[in-house]
Chain A
Amino acid sequence: MVARRQFLRYLGATALGVAATGCKLGSEYDVRSLAQPEVLATLGVAEVRNIGQRYRTLNPSEASVNAIREAILGSRPLAARLGLINPPVAALVRGDFEHGRTVALDGWILSVTEARQCALLASLTT
């Protein structure tokens, strides 16, 4: 189990190395921010990490930090991918629920985007 403070230190160091393309997208699309799904505040690092591990197991093509981040970016609406709009991650999550893009992981019913956020956290701490 990773302590929250230790996790955040680790996360900061890792994010610097991998998130260069996130700058033009807004800071919440950098790896550091993406790896903090909204459920983290309530469920804690350990539970979110377990959820993320489960997602990674079920989706081996999204095994790396870059692959997960690209999957999140690639799932944005077309206008966002063309750079015309820049929706916050919370809007992507809500859109997932509205359009039935959900996944059940360890019983949790999550938006695909936030499941990937959990997987990102798990990847960064594994």
Chain B
Amino acid sequence: MHTDARDLEPGSLIEGDLCIVGAGAAGISMALEWIGAGRRVLLLEGGGFDYDPHMQDLYRGDNIGLPYYPIQSARLHFFGGTTGHWAGFCSTMDPLDFAVRDWVPHSGWPIARTELDPYYKRALSVVQIGPDEWTAEAWQRRDPSLVPFPLDRNVAWTKMWQFSAPARFGVLYRKPIVDAPDVHLYTHANVVEIISNENASAVQELRVRTLEGKEHRVRAKRFVLACCTIQNARLLLASNGQASAGLGNANDLVGRYFMEHLEMPSGNLVTLGRTPPSVQMYDWGWGRTKARGEIALSQEVQRRRRILNATVSLSPAALSDPPQSTFQQINPQLIEMFHTGKLSDDVLKTPPPSAVPRTFQLMTRQEQAPNPASRVTLSTERDALGMPRTRLDWRLTELDRSSFAAFYEELGCEFGRAGVGRLQMRDWVMQPPNAGWPPSLSGGWHHMGTTRMSPDPKQGVVDVNCRVHGIANLYVAGAAVFPTAGCVNPTFSLVALTLRLSDYLKHSSA
């Protein structure tokens, strides 16, 4: 069922068993799980079914830290959420991503990777990829032209990615959600405050507003915040009627540990030999590639070098091509895609290169070390709904920077040993410690970590079941709960984690 909240009588009371705030990858994944479950599920979406600049403006905020994208551009505020501009990159996080690493402060998930494995399997159909094959060898068996580099697995390996079509959740799942008799979608229903009981131990209701000024109340037995990493934190911080620092923020953790992926061109590769190694395994074309490999370092090397996790992808390029920051150098076609989710036909029709390239730009995708000083807070400015706007203070550490050099040193030696070719590090990678970040600093449009998971309320906002510490009926879904970022795009993992939360909610009493 669907209702436009603008059509409701002012002051309407909406009631259900489970209320999901936000209809993006997490919120829709969860709602799909509850179709036919015999419960009345409310799915609240602030936007409508299409992009609307007035709605998008609600996500505008200040950036007071390192250079970053305009934060209203890095997520989308309509049904389907940020999957509307998702490029479809899917891979699984590594076992080491979940471990406590003594060289990575604040690392360690309270669950192991094996706990997510069954949910990764289930998430395949949600994001429309598959089969459940994640080794280079398995993909080589399917397509013998995909030949991984002959790397020593003790040093480096080929990590596989699969690419969703990509799955635009707003298009794919609109009909199933709207047609479901027990899932009630409300569009233009912006949650502006979470109202708790007097001692802030349980949520009583949500205050919802439309841009036209109507206000409604939403009551449910349990509530799930699934409105993206930044907005989840913003909503908790702004809900300060009963708890002056914001809900779930008794230990000043809400909004901290904001993380991104550092996606930066950091080196070059030239392949050598009369018959250079095949690079088809590592090639990617928008809309063409079903699976491809990227190169990662082994857990043993990461431990020995005390560095963060990362992968590199290969892009054919001249060695002299200068690296550019995506913060400043965003292709106009990409901007269009980030707003509308549609990429121009010119890009889609670009043919694959006819000759086998021998020089490549190496694009790193590295996790960011959890950093309490990297945080989301509230601005003094308010949006059209009267909510305080977001203030983002993105900060990085020396470990984030030094990991690049160690990664490339190890990779360069292994490429040489394996006969793949020779690697060149970019100048900034070789700079001495504390040299700062280059103008080509770039992120992956990935937001994670503002309500991190920990069994200890002094270390995290949500517990192992994604319930907000101290609040009986409030949960968080999405990448906001990631304690560490891993080095893969977050969508596939956040969907898996959401399915796990959904199971927990089904099997625990309200």
Interface contact A38-B272, CB-CB below 8 Å: yes
Q: Smallest Cβ distance from A71 to chain B, in angstroms?
A: 19
| Contact residue among B359, B413, B421 (Cβ-Cβ distance under 8 Å from A100) | B413
Residues of A within 8 A of B113 (CB): none
List, in ascending order, chain B residues with CB within 8 A of A110's CB: 416, 422
Q: Contact check, B422 vs A39: say whether CB atoms are below 8 A apart.
A: yes
Residues in chain B near residue A94, CB distance under 8 A: 416-417, 419
The 8 A CB mask of B182-215 against A (1 = contact, 0 = none) is 0000000000000000000000000000000000
A-B contact count (CB 8 A): 58
| Closest residue of A by beta carbon distance from B419 | A94
Beta-carbon nearest neighbor of B417 in chain A: A97
Chain A, 14-41, contact with B by CB distance < 8 Å: what is the 0/1 string? 0000000000000000000000001101
Contact, CB under 8 Å: A107 / B273: no
Interface residues of B in 278-329 (CB under 8 A from A): 319
Q: Which of A42, A47, A106 has the most CB of B within 10 A?
A: A42
Interface residues on chain B, number (Cβ under 8 Å): 26
Contact status A39-B272, CB under 8 Å? yes
The segment out of B219-227, B336-344, B390-398, B424-432 that lies at the interface is B424-432
| Contact in complex: A106, B424 (CB < 8 Å) | yes
The dominant DSSP class at the B interface is mixed
Report the separation of the CA atoms of residues A31 and B101 in the bound assembly, to the nearest whole angstrom: 50
Complex: A107 Cα to B271 Cα, angstroms = 16
Verify A108–B423 contact, CB threshold 8 A: yes
Distance between B319 CB and nearest chain A CB, rounded to angstroms: 8
Evaluate contact between B273 and A38: CB separation under 8 angstroms: yes
A111 within 8 A of B: yes
Closest chain-A Cβ to B482's Cβ sits at a distance in Å of 33
Q: Which B residues are CB-close (under 8 A) to A38?
A: 272-273
Contact A42 B416 (CB under 8 A): no
Q: How far is the CB of A107 from chain B (nearest CB, A)?
A: 4
Q: How far is the CA of A94 from the CA of B273 in the complex (A)?
A: 13
Rounded to whole Å, the gap between the CB of A5 and the closest CB of chain B is 21
Q: Compute how far the CA of A108 lies from the CA of B319 in the bound complex, rounded to whole angstroms.
A: 12
Number of A interface residues in the complex (CB < 8 A): 20
Residue among A41, A106, A109, A111 making CB contact with B423, cutoff 8 Å: A109
| Interface residues of A, dominant DSSP | mixed
Contact call A97/B425, Cβ cutoff below 8 A? no
**Closest chain B CB from A74 CB (angstroms):** 21
Instruction: Give the shortest distance, in Å, between A110 (CB) and chain B (any CB).
Output: 6
Contacting pair A42 B359 (CB below 8 A): yes
Q: Are B424 and A108 in contact (CB under 8 A)?
A: yes
In the complex, the answer to whether A98 meets B409 with C-beta atoms within 8 Å is no
Q: Report the separation of the CA atoms of residues A97 and B421 in the bound assembly, to the nearest whole angstrom.
A: 12
In the complex, are the beta carbons of A107 and B425 less than 8 A apart? yes
Min CB–CB distance B401 → chain A (angstroms):
16
Bitwise interface map of A from 84 to 97 toward B, beta carbon under 8 Å scored 1, else 0: 00000000011011
With A42-B272, A42-B358 given, is the CB distance from A107 to B427 under 8 Å? Answer: yes
A80 at the interface (CB under 8 A from B): no
Within the complex, what minimum Cβ distance (angstroms) separates A22 from chain B? Answer: 24
- A43 contacts chain B at the CB level, 8 A cutoff: yes
Q: Which residue of B is nearest A42, CB measured?
A: B270
A58 on the interface (CB 8 Å rule)? no
Task: Please determine whether B426 and A107 come into contact, CB atoms closer than 8 angstroms.
Answer: yes
Report the bound CA distance from A109 to B319 in whole Å: 15
Decide if B267 is an interface residue (CB 8 Å cutoff): yes
Contacts of A47 in B (CB 8 A): 319
Expressed in whole angstroms, the minimum distance between the Cβ of A53 and any Cβ of chain B is 16
Q: Which of A96, A100, A109 is close to B422, meaning CB atoms less than 8 Å apart?
A: A109
Q: Is the CB of A97 within 8 A of B413?
A: yes
Chain B residues closer than 8 Å to A102, beta-carbon distance = 412-413, 416
A104 on interface, CB distance cutoff 8 Å:
yes
Would A108 and B426 count as touching, CB distance under 8 A? no
CB pair B416 A111 closer than 8 Å: yes
Closest CB-CB distance, B334 to chain A, in whole Å?
28
Say whether B267 contacts A107, CB under 8 Å: yes
Q: Which residues of B lie under 8 Å from residue A39 when comparing CB positions?
A: 270, 272, 422
Nearest-CB residue, chain A, relative to B268: A107
Picked from A43, A97, A106, the residue with its CB within 8 Å of the CB of B416 is A97
- A39, B271: Cα distance in complex, Å: 9
Beyond A94-B419, A97-B417, A98-B417, is A109–B270 a contact (Cβ under 8 Å)?
no
Give the residues in chain A near B409, CB-CB below 8 Å.
104, 109
Give the residue name and chain of the A residue nearest to B410 (CB): A109
Give the interface centre of B271, B409, B413 by most chain A CB atoms within 10 Å. Answer: B413
From A39, which residue of chain B is reached at the shortest CB distance? B422
Which A residues fall within an 8 A CB radius of B? 38-39, 41-43, 47, 93-94, 96-98, 100, 102, 104, 106-111
Could you list 9 further interchain pairs (A-B, Cβ under 8 angstroms) beyond the known A38-B273, A107-B425? A42-B358, A43-B270, A102-B416, A104-B409, A104-B425, A104-B430, A106-B424, A107-B426, A108-B422
30 contacts between A and B (CB under 8 A): A38-B273, A39-B270, A39-B422, A41-B272, A42-B272, A42-B359, A43-B319, A94-B416, A94-B417, A94-B419, A96-B416, A97-B414, A98-B417, A100-B413, A102-B412, A102-B413, A104-B409, A104-B412, A104-B425, A104-B430, A107-B425, A107-B426, A107-B429, A107-B430, A108-B423, A108-B424, A109-B408, A109-B422, A109-B423, A110-B422
